[in-house]
Amino acid sequence: MLRILFVFLLFAGFGGAKAETVMLDPGDQQTIIENLRYLEDPDAQLDITDIRNPDLNWLQHSGSSFNKSFSQSTWWLHLQLNNPQNRTEDRLLEISYAILDYVDIYVFSNHSQISHFTLGDRYPYADRPIDSPFFVVPLHWSRDGRMDVYLRIKSSSAIQVPLTLWQPDTFTTQAAKTNIIQGLYYGAMLVIVVYNLLIFLALWDRSYLYYSGFVLSMPLFFAAISGQGFRYIWPDIPGWNDYALTLFLALTVIFANLFTRLFLDLKKVSPLLNYWTLIVTALAVIGLGLVLFSNYRISILYLVAVSAISAPGSMVAGVVSWRRGAETARFYCVAWALFLLGVSVLVLNKINILPNNQLTQYSVQIGSILEAVLLSFAMAERINVERKLRYQAQDETLTTTRRLNTELETRVQERTDELEQLNKRLRVLSNTDQLTGLYNRRYLEQKMQSEWERCKRYKHSMAMVMMDVDYFKTVNDTYGHPAGDECLRQVTAQILGCVRVQSDHVARYGGEEFCMLLPETDTEGAVVLAERIRTIVASHPIVTQDHVFNVTISLGVFAMIPNNNQHLGYMLQCVDLALYQSKENGRNLVTVFDPDHSNPQKPNDEIKNSHR
């Protein structure tokens, strides 16, 4: 938006105004442009004597402002100003465009030259007849007098000549008001720069450095183009004027794009927009080189083009970031929108759609300071968001069940929910057997350990049931492995159909081996459940796509009250031996392990495998 403003200011001028008449009126200010005559001198060969030759082909100007854009020609302007009053009159003639290089003003009365003023930003500021950032000269009329004013304009900047006649007292009053407003504006911007630089030194966050550079470059650019910089900062260095304007424009583009890229985190939000801002930044850096090693005309035209492509890119980056959930991007978009509104108000004022008042005259300054304040709020908000994200990460390390934090804003809340759901799915996948959908052995052993400790603390009984599909190898050899997989899935469904209590856990413990953990269950309850499972499996055939067959299962049961004298491994050995005894005794059986008549030692693995 700043770049859009620059293009407008460069081509339209700060003081372009509507013409009314060439007759002096008693009003406070009078715009004089419609009755202007002009002449182009491409080779700069004419002088004031040649210009007053009546045979020259002067052209009549039409329009609300004299604008010849970038031109290498010298331009002559002629005004006839009449005093219809029966008294002497004094006025101040103002050219309210501060970056003209050479301005010569010749004043004739009754065909005699009465004054000649040499102005322009290539001359020391102290040489000006009136202390003003614009070009102002005094004019004096006798009674019923007529005055011819010739202006010779030569500049490497855009040729803009907005002309206004002022009552001296009104001009002084208006200039004082302008100085106060401009002082408040530059002072406020300086405070924002210092504040953000201090935060940068405290946090060492580059975004604050880039933002400070942007906020500093923008008012310096305004100061250069409005003449305030020449008036107060470098009045004795006229050669710096051309450099200052292009230099601060280039720095504004560079810092704005660097800040946009870092503040909106475009590397993550949009790699394409991230590359775009890097390219525009590189082009602006090249513009800095042109400022130092090329002439003003080339560098300013180049930087205007870079600014024109940078402005829409920055706004698009803000909108894209906002749409993709970046909360701080809304501050960015609103801030730039307010500045663009200020630019629009100024443009509408200059084309006479909006009235000329304090609000419309300083709309750009108001918009830019609101932009700077809002972006400062956005930077503070970003710190808050980052701090909340750090707290969230620490909390998630302790427990995923405490992820929700009501103090976080909507975007952080949504991302927290998504992350929690992903973690839950990962836990389910890591604890689930892919074939049967049951818990796997890893999960069951963790659950066994926690239930062992709990039942030991409260002296409650817990039971285990170990199950194994009989002759499962024969199923695979006879019907094929797909049928074997389907067999395991259907046996799983039959087992789960027998489970009545939510706290009971069933897991696939091995190839065709299943294990059931039954907290708060004694031997009798475990046997009832085991016998129910055995009966259901034996009575329901396995139906696959190509085959129908029956299988049975053998089950081992063991229950105990955990104590300090035993450990979980002991219980697993006992239930495994009970299963082994069911296999040894003919299969399709439920066997309860009796620790008083059996030694809980695992049988030889080769013997076990031969029986299964």
Residues recognised as catalytic: 512
CA 219 to CA 229: how far, in whole Å?
10
Residue 155 in contact with residue 336, Cβ under 8 Å? no
| Helix H or strand E encompassing 384 | helix 363-398
CA 335 to CA 332: how far, in whole Å?
5
Which of 512, 478, 475 minimizes the C-alpha distance to 495?
512
Q: 518: which strand partners?
A: 463
Residue 437 in contact with residue 428, Cβ under 8 Å? no
CA 379 to CA 384: how far, in whole Å?
9
3-state helix, strand, coil in the chain (%, to 5): 55, 15, 30
Q: CB 32: neighbour CB atoms within 10 A?
A: 22
- Strand pairing class (590-592; 553-560): parallel
Residue 554 in contact with residue 587, Cβ under 8 Å? yes
**Local structure of 54: helix, strand or coil:** coil
CA 574 to CA 596: how far, in whole Å?
11
Find the distance separating the first CA and the last CA of the chain, reported in whole Å.
80
